């Protein structure tokens, strides 16, 4: 039970969890504590990621990026039953960013020099995809075989792309919901678990695909994103279609991972696979999960 994990971690960190309020119950579990503190209980075996998130948060703050703040003066992370627990400052009331606000934050992030002391991982756009396809229950033989072949084809295409230049610090999951905009103050960068070293275009691809392949982002919003980022439009770079196809496979595999416990996710998985196979014309409409 995560309640027991929270209690043990709080005792180690000397924090009061009386009256703790559950605010999220997913693969990562979050509680609100007194004093506007948030406890985040990570997935089993993710201690290194949790430790890196805390250190990245502090490095970004020192670098002038407004980001979710790790709590100072407590043990970070606390390891309880193979689950890391970290402590954060509660965000003020906020909304999700506009595309222009997201573009401005990414432009600022991508100008930072690569830090020498964080040992950031290299971004891998294919991380975990093969395992999810191979082991996902509910796929028939034809679907599994097609997805595995599609993954192999994308790997081959990706290997032939020209170099994107020296790696930069990237967010790794850049979309409007991962930048919180409070009523007062600067936009706040959230969800630091995928921060890594890679080509900056990977932080632009989700918004670009929303514009080119789906019906959820209009031309004006996309132009605002490009302008706020500094004028670089990833949709016109030579490797765009390959990166877009990889991103869409990542989104398919994400919902595939939920299909064995949700009929709605299973139905959505079949729809998304049909889209990738060319059975549904663009622009596509996918249900969010």
Closest listed residue to residue 70, CA positions, set 81, 82, 60, 80 = 60
Per-residue pLDDT at 265: 93
Q: What is the mean pLDDT of residues 74-83?
A: 94
Per-residue pLDDT at 2: 82
Enclosing domain of residue 74: 2-90
Tell whether 194 is covered by a domain.
Answer: yes
Shared-domain flag, residues 141 and 250: yes
Would the pLDDT of 27 be above 80? no
CATH of the domain at 17: 3.30.200.20
Per-residue pLDDT at 215: 81
Would the pLDDT of 163 be above 90? no
Shared-domain flag, residues 116 and 182: yes
Task: For the chain, give the mean pLDDT.
Answer: 95
Shared-domain flag, residues 219 and 121: yes
Tell whether 286 is covered by a domain.
Answer: no
Closest listed residue to residue 9, CA positions, set 23, 37, 36 = 37
Q: What is the mean pLDDT of residues 128-151?
A: 93
Per-residue pLDDT at 155: 98
DSSP state of 214: B
Shared-domain flag, residues 77 and 191: no
Would the pLDDT of 158 be above 90? yes
Split into its structural domains, the chain has a count of 2
Q: What is the mean pLDDT of residues 60-75?
A: 96
Tell whether 180 is covered by a domain.
Answer: yes
Shared-domain flag, residues 163 and 34: no
Indicate the pairing of strand 168-170 with strand 196-198: antiparallel
Q: What is the mean pLDDT of residues 11-31?
A: 92
Q: What is the C-alpha end-to-end distance of the chain, expressed in Å?
A: 24
Shared-domain flag, residues 85 and 212: no
Tell whether 287 is covered by a domain.
Answer: no
Per-residue pLDDT at 266: 94
Shared-domain flag, residues 220 and 144: yes
Shared-domain flag, residues 72 and 134: no
| Tokens encoding 139 | 């796929």
Residue 96 to residue 207: CA distance in whole angstroms: 14
% of the chain beyond a pLDDT of 70: 100
User: Sorting pLDDT into bands at 50, 70 and 90, what band is 164?
Assistant: confident
Final residue in a domain of this structure, among 90, 118, 146: 90
Residue 228 to residue 80: CA distance in whole angstroms: 42
Would the pLDDT of 203 be above 80? yes
Per-residue pLDDT at 141: 84
Shared-domain flag, residues 124 and 260: yes
Shared-domain flag, residues 105 and 85: no
User: Sorting pLDDT into bands at 50, 70 and 90, what band is 1?
Assistant: low
What are the Cα distances from residue 15, in Å, to 12, 51, 52?
8, 19, 22
Of residues 3 and 127, the one with the higher pLDDT is 127
Tell whether 285 is covered by a domain.
Answer: no
Tell whether 68 is covered by a domain.
Answer: yes
CATH of the domain at 123: 3.90.1200.10
Shared-domain flag, residues 66 and 120: no
């Amino acid at each position: 039970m995560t309640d027991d994990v929270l209690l043990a971690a709080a005792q180690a960190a000397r924090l009061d969890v009386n009256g703790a309020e559950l605010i999220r119950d997913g693969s990562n579990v979050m509680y609100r504590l007194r004093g506007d503190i948030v406890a985040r209980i990570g997935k089993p075996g993710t201690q290194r990621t949790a430790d890196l998130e805390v250190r990245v948060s502090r490095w970004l703050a020192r670098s002038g990026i407004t980001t979710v703040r790790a709590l100072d003066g407590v043990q970070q992370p606390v390891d309880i039953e193979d689950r890391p627990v970290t402590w954060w400052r509660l965000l003020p009331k906020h909304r999700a960013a506009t595309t222009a606000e997201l573009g401005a934050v990414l432009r600022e992030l991508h100008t930072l020099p690569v830090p020498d002391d964080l040992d950031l991982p290299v971004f891998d756009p294919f991380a975990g995809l093969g395992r999810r396809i191979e082991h996902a229950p509910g796929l028939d033989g034809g679907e599994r075989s097609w997805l595995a072949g599609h993954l192999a084809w994308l790997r081959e295409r990706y290997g032939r792309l020209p170099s994107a230049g020296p790696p930069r610090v990237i967010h790794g999951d850049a979309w409007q919901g991962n930048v919180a905009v409070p009523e007062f103050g600067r936009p706040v960068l959230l969800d630091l678990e995928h921060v890594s070293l890679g080509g900056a275009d990977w932080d632009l691809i989700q918004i670009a695909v929303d514009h080119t392949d789906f019906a959820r982002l209009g031309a004006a919003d996309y132009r605002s994103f490009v302008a706020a980022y500094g004028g670089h439009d990833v949709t016109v770079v030579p490797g765009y279609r390959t990166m877009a196809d990889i991103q869409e496979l990542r989104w398919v595999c994400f919902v595939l991972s939920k299909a064995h416990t949700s009929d709605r996710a299973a139905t959505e998985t079949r729809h998304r696979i049909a889209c990738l196979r060319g059975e549904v014309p663009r622009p596509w409409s996918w249900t969010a999960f």
